[in-house]
Structure 1
């Protein structure tokens, strides 16, 4: 049984840390998260004025990690501990991030959050980060492959007089995301209902059995759902409590399938130096009125002169296709496939593709495979105005 469970968790990533909490449990011989017999039920205690939460009584669960996304009407939970987490401290931290990324940080106050994009000086994409503004720090959640390079990049822009420090806390913390429309019900059952209905990025601090846990609104792929950042001391009990209240665990491969279905761009796929932040569909994370910041001049010109010539689409495919393949229409190349995945069912095929903004129709070809371009839920082109869609 253990051998079958390990096959189910199979991932191209072999680093035990990158497998996250679920991989750690598997490596230590646990057959499913629910069989962590040493874990105590999580007792959530607010660090604000909210009353102490009840003790959670958790029963063992033998639900394995699936390689396909659970139905989104369920409550998938993903261990994203392999994602990077940077803690930015110092008196100048907010202004520093305001200048180094696309979001308007100086409008945010303690307990709020946002998405922001790290770009080059010419607005080419590096990564989209989720940020939590705390009392003494700003926390950035980054894609797994960019944490080191972004840390190095940000440190290069800290000048002698700047009171800013960058700390990589990825190895000291865990990170879970709870998704789905029923996630609010799970939060209510955990006596964490004070977060339900709060704006995206809102986060609050709690204590579980005496150890700190920070929970925020939003789940990386969705504006709804919830994110949990916690220490190793509380990770097991919190994970087990979430499972016992109906959350369904999702493995890394399944999360990647859901990423493509949702349309969230990823570094090395959609976020590269070949594409700018507006082409990548990240307008919702770009401020156009906050003054000077890295990449701002290029972004302003692109908007003013309608300079965005291509955009990112979801694509439904009739069969398998290789990322990097050309997207063709009427014998002409109109784009390139950046990501491919099996869809919700094994017979479904989906992808993400950069395609020219103005083409004749949504019907395209990828080699011998037929494709239909569709809007991806995660993406936004609010800054592009007219001409963002396929010509009728």
Structure 2
């Protein structure tokens, strides 16, 4: 979806997320609980990251992909003592429940439960998040690796904001939602609306389903290297991803695009008269117009001048994704 120009309140919240601390209610995102003895092996086989090496208290981002390695969703997983909690995009919750269920075979000890309605999720975003986390009694998590989490008063507090900005994600019982939300605001966090989150998502390059994550793209084109294990063995889509990596065969990449004016999502990106890509997301900020789009790798990267529909643009890096081949 396109985001319209943000108002003063959203601009202040984005500023807080950049230089202070903001909080976003992400309770409408999906939460799927995967339990029983084979849960780690099962998730290991269904997505791009290495679940078998994770211990309780750890977590990771992973991509659910089709058999031809096309992207379905970017998912954050938290390994608990007796289950794995998956935080999934709102538009993919029902699809992923059905899709995962389809791969549970007779002998598999795996249980799936949609726990979205009985839980809530908040993201603390910004460099001052530590102060809030400390006052919530979860100071022990500060400084730990991405995805690590602890449980305090029935609240799972995990490292990582869901954006490229530092922060934390909290998952808690829905019955506690209002109390904890009020507490966080009282501790100085500024409310970040869904629209402001969407603006930050685009500015930072976090890919979203139906826009950057579709049947047209694979995780290497998106630039989600941190979600992919290249030595974990077989999983759905693994052969395609391994081949693309081995032969450096990525034909297009997701980039940020600084635009001179508004542009329509779906617009062709061109150099001279040659189409080299497509605009997938667009937002307007007080600093100007910005978009995300896929560009053919042979066309170039950062600094490239392009035409997006009728609008001029320049390719820039976005912090959420990377197009460096890992060593």
TM range (shorter): over 0.9
What pairs with 1:287-306 in structure 2 (closer than 5 Å)? Answer: 287-306=229-248
Which residue of structure 1 lines up, in the alignment, with residue 77 of structure 2? 131
Alignment of 1:145 with 2:88, yes or no, is: no
Structure 1 residue matching 2:52: 3-state secondary structure: helix
Provide the aligned C-alpha RMSD in A.
Answer: 1.8
Q: 1:70 aligns with which of 9, 14, 34?
A: 14
Structure 2 residue matching 1:352: 3-state secondary structure: strand
Q: 1:322 aligns with which of 247, 264, 271?
A: 264
Contact map agreement 1:66 1:249 (CA 8 A) in 2: no
Structure 2 residue matching 1:105: 3-state secondary structure: coil
Largest Rg, 1 or 2? 1
Name the CA distance, whole Å, in 2 between partners of 1:144 and 1:272.
Answer: 15
TM superposition shift of 1:232: 2.3
Q: Identify the range of structure 1 (357-366 vs 245-254) with the bigger mean alpha-carbon deviation.
A: 357-366
Name the CA distance, whole Å, in 1 between partners of 2:209 and 2:97.
Answer: 15
Which residue of structure 2 lines up, in the alignment, with residue 377 of structure 1? 319
Name the CA distance, whole Å, in 2 between partners of 1:189 and 1:95.
Answer: 37
| Distance change in 2, residues 1:367/1:384 (3 Å) | farther
Contact map agreement 2:37 2:110 (CA 8 A) in 1: yes
Q: Which runs of 5+ in 2 are unaligned?
A: none
TM superposition shift of 1:65: 10
Larger relative contact order, structure 1 or 2 (CA cutoff 8 Å, min sep 6): 2
Which residue of structure 2 lines up, in the alignment, with residue 264 of structure 1? 206
TM-score normalised per structure 2: 0.94
Q: 1:243 aligns with which of 176, 185, 204?
A: 185
What pairs with 1:4-43 in structure 2 (closer than 5 Å)? Answer: none
Alignment of 1:358 with 2:298, yes or no, is: yes
What pairs with 1:149-188 in structure 2 (closer than 5 Å)? Answer: 149-188=95-134
Cα deviation 1:263-320 (Å, max 9, x = unaligned): 0000000000001111011111000000001110000111112211100001110110
Name the CA distance, whole Å, in 2 between partners of 1:125 and 1:232.
Answer: 30
Cα deviation 1:174-220 (Å, max 9, x = unaligned): 1000010111122223332111111111111111xxxx211111111
Q: Greater strand share, 1 or 2?
A: 2
Which residue of structure 2 lines up, in the alignment, with residue 102 of structure 1? 48
Name the CA distance, whole Å, in 1 between partners of 2:60 and 2:42.
Answer: 15
Which residue of structure 1 lines up, in the alignment, with residue 288 of structure 2? 348
- How many pairs were matched up? 318
| Distance change in 2, residues 1:311/1:153 (3 Å) | same
Name the CA distance, whole Å, in 2 between partners of 1:170 and 1:124.
Answer: 26
TM-score normalised per structure 1: 0.78
Which residue of structure 2 lines up, in the alignment, with residue 59 of structure 1? none
Name the CA distance, whole Å, in 1 between partners of 2:322 and 2:106.
Answer: 37
Alignment of 1:220 with 2:162, yes or no, is: yes
Cα deviation 1:46-70 (Å, max 9, x = unaligned): xxxxxxxxxxxxxxxxxx9934442
Structure 2 residue matching 1:257: 3-state secondary structure: helix
Name the CA distance, whole Å, in 1 between partners of 2:282 and 2:165.
Answer: 23
Name the CA distance, whole Å, in 2 between partners of 1:384 and 1:369.
Answer: 34
Name the CA distance, whole Å, in 2 between partners of 1:85 and 1:326.
Answer: 35
TM superposition shift of 1:384: 6.9
Q: Identify the range of structure 1 (360-369 vs 295-304) with the bigger mean alpha-carbon deviation.
A: 360-369
Structure 1 residue matching 2:221: 3-state secondary structure: coil
TM superposition shift of 1:381: 2.6
What pairs with 1:51-90 in structure 2 (closer than 5 Å)? Answer: 66-68=9-11, 69-71=13-15, 72-90=18-36
Contact map agreement 1:200 1:223 (CA 8 A) in 2: no
